[in-house]
Every structure is written in structure tokens, then in C-alpha cells.
Chains A and B, each alone.
Chain A
Amino acid sequence: MTQDENKEGVGGMINPRRYGIERVAYWLMRLSGLGLLAYFIGHIYETSNILRGQVGWTELLEMTSTPFFHIILSIVIAMCVFHTVNGIRVMLGHGGIGVGKPSRPDYPYDPASQNYRHKIGIYSAIVLAAVAMMYGLAVLFGE
């Protein structure tokens, strides 16, 4: 970013060290959203191959049946699970649910919105994503 605005830019935005798990969730959400969008576009293209008939479809199936594509697919599964679970958390938050009630703050200040409910939400999104990815890997590489 230009120094005259002194904005932190993308680097500062995703720096995971300063603002706790909430910030990690923030950019994982973005990353997974973008990743899913990319996959989604690819997926639409992929399925359109069905118009090329049996041969075209199988050709594509073979092409995407490599370990590389399987790993990609597992990551997509993880992203999908994380994005969905965290998305539901974020939506609740945005609606003002589970963000605490206004009250007189007492020093040392402990912001009610940064509470364990949301932290649990974030961690469970990550854990579920990991589990789903394992499962995906198991299925894909299992046979």
C-alpha cells in the first residue's frame, strides 16, 4: 500500500499473529469462499463435458482421477465444510445472535462479542473441515 495512506494492505489484513483465532477465521472464510468459487466454476465446466457423450465424460473422469485432483477435491471438501459451518456462525453473529449484551464495561475490558461461543464455532468449523477432509481422502484413496 502507498505510504501516504499508511494502510496495512492485504499483508496486514491476513497477518494471523495479532488478533487471535477470529482473524484466522476471517481470512479462512475469504480463502475458502474464493476457493469454492474457483472449484464451482471448474465443476460447471467439468460437468458440461457430459454433452460430449460417454467418451468425453470418461476421458474427463480419467483425467481428474489422478492423486493430484483427489487432493484438490479433498481440500475442496474441507473448504466447503469450513465455509458452511463458519458461514452459519458468521450469519448468526451478523444477526446479532450470540454476540453478548451491552453492559457497563469493567476494567480490564473483556469484549463480550469475542466470547467462547464464537470461538467454539470457529474451532469446530476447523475440526469438522479437517475430519471431512480425512474422510474424503480415505474415500478417494481408499479403494
Chain B
Amino acid sequence: MVDSIEFDLIICGSGLAGLRAAIAAAKKGPNLKIGIVSKLQVMRSHSVSAEGGTAAVICEDEGDTIESHIYDTVKGSDFLADQDVAEKLCVEMPKEIYQLEHWGMPWSRKDDGRIDQRNFGGYSFPRATYASDKVGFFEMQTLYDTCQKYENIEYLNEWFATSIVHDGRRFMGLTAIELSSGTFYIIKGKALIIATGGAGRLYSFSTYALSSTPDGLDMGFRAGMALKDMEFVQFHPTGILPSGILITEGARGEGAYLLNNKGERFMKNYAASKMELTPRDIVSRSIMTEIQEGRGFKHETGVDCMKLDLRHIGDEVIKEKLGGIREISIKFSGVDPAKELLDIRPVCHYMMGGLHTDIQGATEMQGAWAAGEAACNSVHGSNRLGANSTSECIVWGKITGELAVEYIQKGIPSIPWPHHLVVAEEKRIYDGIFRGNGDVNPYEIRQQLTDTMNDKAYVYRNETDLVAGLKKIRELKVQTWKHVDDKAKEYNTNFSNVMELDSMFRVAEIVLIGAINRKESRGAHARTDYTKRDDVNFLHHTLAYYDPNEPIMKTHPVTITKYKPVERKY
């Protein structure tokens, strides 16, 4: 018999979205038992790495408007964003900035004591609210610390969720492995919020935490939820070499230049009005074009790169506003940004896609919501603007937290527990993965898989590469890699790594298929064989549904309210 525990609300994931949801739920439903299930300890989630800012309109007295934030977001998305959703983000966000502030967030301040903001890519007003360059970290700290006020939140730290238990229509619980003991558990619950974050470790050159793998997305996918718009992967222009650690866009927000080997600020040839502060997709493409046309540099590892110049910003301002990246540059690149140029290269940074939800964050399964990067409520369309993601996590964290509580409070009739699903899941992971044997090193396979994604589905894409990539992934999948050498139960990360790999295959496939199908260039998805945006055939979202053999691909309409798609120019 499998051990089981029970909560009213289960939140899977303890990043920004998960913690914000927990607070909203704990406040609204003080009598409910809330469990945060996370494969990491609280405060170890990828969200702590977010650096540059959180977008919100808080300076209306200085001329900023919500309207403008909405339009910037929609235009940044290359008109694939659902416009009602973008509006919701921009309307809700200012309140959240103040709410966070009241909970202790150490926002950077202006001299008069008000919250300060900085410039960010693609915005027509400096509206990235910042706290030095550790925004995500401080937000996580604020939320985690605020969670400490609520005694009805319980933390299941280092529990690896493996599947969603449901009756075909309605959410009923999770199965999970407690890593420290290796015990397999059923976690029963009335409602679920999936906040398992992005999956950027699909790429080997990535800004993401090593733990950002698609197992959370895959869990929803296997339970019948659709994955939406997975082909849109954001490449951030400035990742350092060789680690891929991010230099925030805030650096350019504070005035940093991008230089090619002629010493030119080459962005003037691509987007003269916004220069370095053009949305990321365009800057990344510009860098790759420069490199391809021979105006790049070579890093000592032999990798092509470009230079980022912060020297004119000055040591004092760098220390004050960009202390985190100063530390990163000195430590990981051996470069003091006040004195030397940084080697940078576009790097996998964000997944616009995720579990398909409506504007309220509800998934297609009753009782299950998704929030944060794991969700795709289509606020970012085909390209997210910097600083809009932490905003999204916070806004939909709150919305889903409250809605889930309302749902639970309405009362849910009980139905028999689907034991067979748990048995099947146990079989899948223990017989299929844990005891599955094979002689290929799963880590090597993972390396090949992520390298393939890097090579074949990077900033510029084309049919040949994508098809070759898909073929390679499918080859890797059938190799006999499924083996877990480590047979101990306690803290078996070999086991969880292999489970992560298992999920990477399914999700990588969807990214590639979606990219192959989308024969146009839109936002972050740039095809060299279809260089134009094609609103006639492709102004729609991509959906992928689970099928044991091959994902079932569908489309979904884009919600357009006020802004008719026009050519996107900066």
C-alpha cells in the first residue's frame, strides 16, 4: 500500500508563482491545509536568479500609462499575445508592486523615498521596478518570509512530483517521491496549482538553474493537459561564456552598449530607435547576424561571441545598481565590467509556452490551475518582454491561489479514488525507469539531447535543421539509456535526473514539431526559410496533446481586442 497524505490545496513548485499563490490562498482560506510540493527546498527555485526588474506602471504622474504597458507587451509579443490577458497583467501589476513593498521588499528607491524604476527592452517608459539587480531573489525572499506568517502552509521540500491523479475530468491528487527517504507517496488534494517553472535546461547553453527541466510540464501533459506555443523559446542576448550565466538586460537598461569587432554599436543598423533596448528576439538575431557576417569575436573556448561594454557606466553606478552581475562577471568570467568588455552570446532564457490555461490560469482539468512560467496563458505571445515574467508569476500566482480556494470552499463531492492510476504510475517509474536497464549513460544522452536543441533550434531555425534535430531526439529516445545505477533510496538524484531526462524527450519533441509546423517568422521563432510573419496562416496558438506515440497537434485562436496586428518595427 502506498503511503498517502492529504491537503486541501496542493501547490506544485515553490518559485515566485508558487509562493505568491500560497500566500493568496492562505489568506483567503485560513482554515484550509495548503501544501507546497517542490523538488527543491524553498528559496532554491530558479526564480531567485531573476535579475533585472519587474514591469509595472507606477509612475502615472510622470506620464506612464497602463495602456502603453499593454501595447508594448502586445507589440513585443509580435501580436500573438491574447490581448485581454496582457491587459489583465498590466492592470493588476501596480498593486502587486505595492503589496510586495508592504511585505518588506527592498525595492531600490528614489531620493524622495519612492520606488525607483529602470529602463528595459521594448518599453516606451522606464517601468522595470528593480531592487539592485537581484529582483527575483528579493521577491522570493519577501514571499517566502511572508509565508512564514501563515501556519496553514506546509512545505514538502525536495519532493519530486511524478504524476497527476485524476478521474479523467477532475483533479484528485499527485504522486511524488520524497527525495530524502526515497519513499513514494500519494498526495491527495482538492485543488492543484502547477507552478513548476520553465524548462530551459532543454538547451545546453542556458541561463536557467540546473533544475529547470520540463518534468512539471510533462506531468500535466501526460495527464491530458495541452502544451501551448512551445516552439517559442526566448534567447537572451547576453549570456556570459562559458557558463551561460545571465547578464541582465538591466545592464543595457543602465546604458551598456553592444559592440561588434569594428567597435560599432551595431544595433543602430537593426533598430535605430531603441538600439540596445529593443526586445530580446531582435537583439539576439542582430547579434547572430553580426557573427555570421564576420563581425563577431571568438571567446577563448573557440565560441563566437559579441562584446558588452559597461565601462562608461562607471564603477560606482555598477556597484550600486548592478552589484550582482559585477560579482558574476568577476567570478565567472574573470572580468571587471567597469574596466573590461564582457564576452556574451545569445542564450536560452525563457519558454513563452507552457500548460494551456485561460485568462484565469485555469487548465483544462477541473480543479487544476497553472501559474508562472509553467503556464501559458498567452500573455507573452511569441516573445516576452523583459521584466514581464516575474510580473506574470506574481499576478497569476495571486489569481490562481484565490480561485483555487473559492473552488474548494464551494465544496467538492467525493468520488472513488482511482487506484489503478497510482499503480500504473508506480509501474512506470519503478519498473520502467528505476529498474529499467540499459547500458548507455543517461547523462551523456542528456548532453546530446540538449546539444541537439542548441544546434538545431537556436536563434535562427530552418526546416532541415529542425527535422534533423527531431530525428536525432527520437534516435536518442530509443537508445537503451534508461538506467539508474544508484540503487539506494535515500536522496537518489540519479533517479530524479533520469526522470527529468524522460520528460525532456517528450517536451523537446513538441518544441521541434511546433517549430517545424510554424512556417513563418514571428517573435522568437525566426525561420531563415520563411522570413516573414504570416498572419493569414499562423496567427494562432499551437496546442499539443499527449499520445503515447506522437503528440497530437492542434491550434487555438488568438484573442485580439484593441490592437490589430501591424508590422513590428523599432
Asked if residues B330 and A107 are in contact (CB atoms below 8 Å), the reply is yes
Among the 9-residue stretches B175-183, B238-246, B320-328, B435-443, the one with 4 or more Cβ atoms under 8 Å from chain A is B320-328
- Give chain B residues whose Cβ lies under 8 Å from the Cβ of A108: 330
A94 at the interface (CB under 8 A from B): no
Q: What is the distance, in angstroms, from B130's C-beta to the closest C-beta of chain A? A: 14
In this complex, the member of A104, A106, A107 whose beta carbon has the largest number of chain B beta carbons within 10 angstroms is: A107
Contact with A along B502-527 (1 / 0, CB 8 A): 00000000000000000000000000
Asked if residues B320 and A104 are in contact (CB atoms below 8 Å), the reply is yes
Asked if residues A107 and B326 are in contact (CB atoms below 8 Å), the reply is yes
CA distance A107 to B319 in the complex (A): 9
| In the complex, chain B residues 130-150 whose Cβ is within 8 Å of any chain A Cβ | 132
Asked if residues A107 and B320 are in contact (CB atoms below 8 Å), the reply is no
Q: Is the interface of A mostly helix, strand, loop or mixed?
A: loop
CA distance A108 to B334 in the complex (A): 12
Contact with B along A83-106 (1 / 0, CB 8 A): 000000000000000000000111
State the total of A-B contacts with C-beta under 8 angstroms: 14
- Give chain B residues whose Cβ lies under 8 Å from the Cβ of A104: 132, 319-320, 323
- Give chain A residues whose Cβ lies under 8 Å from the Cβ of B410: none
- Give chain A residues whose Cβ lies under 8 Å from the Cβ of B320: 104
Q: What is the distance, in angstroms, from B137's C-beta to the closest C-beta of chain A? A: 14
CA distance A107 to B315 in the complex (A): 12
- Give chain B residues whose Cβ lies under 8 Å from the Cβ of A106: 319, 323, 326
Q: What is the distance, in angstroms, from A103's C-beta to the closest C-beta of chain B? A: 11
- Give chain A residues whose Cβ lies under 8 Å from the Cβ of B132: 104
CA distance A105 to B327 in the complex (A): 11
- Give chain B residues whose Cβ lies under 8 Å from the Cβ of A107: 323, 326-327, 330-331
- Give chain A residues whose Cβ lies under 8 Å from the Cβ of B331: 107
CA distance A107 to B324 in the complex (A): 9
CA distance A105 to B330 in the complex (A): 15
Contact with A along B77-102 (1 / 0, CB 8 A): 00000000000000000000000000
* Chain B contacts to A: CB under 8 angstroms: 132, 319-320, 323, 326-327, 330-331
4 pairs of A and B residues whose beta carbons are closest in the complex:
A107-B327, A106-B319, A107-B330, A107-B326
Can you report 14 A-B residue pairs in the complex whose CB atoms are below 8 A from each other?
A104-B132, A104-B319, A104-B320, A104-B323, A105-B323, A106-B319, A106-B323, A106-B326, A107-B323, A107-B326, A107-B327, A107-B330, A107-B331, A108-B330
**12 extra A-B contacts, CB within 8 A, seeds A104-B320, A108-B330:** A104-B132, A104-B319, A104-B323, A105-B323, A106-B319, A106-B323, A106-B326, A107-B323, A107-B326, A107-B327, A107-B330, A107-B331
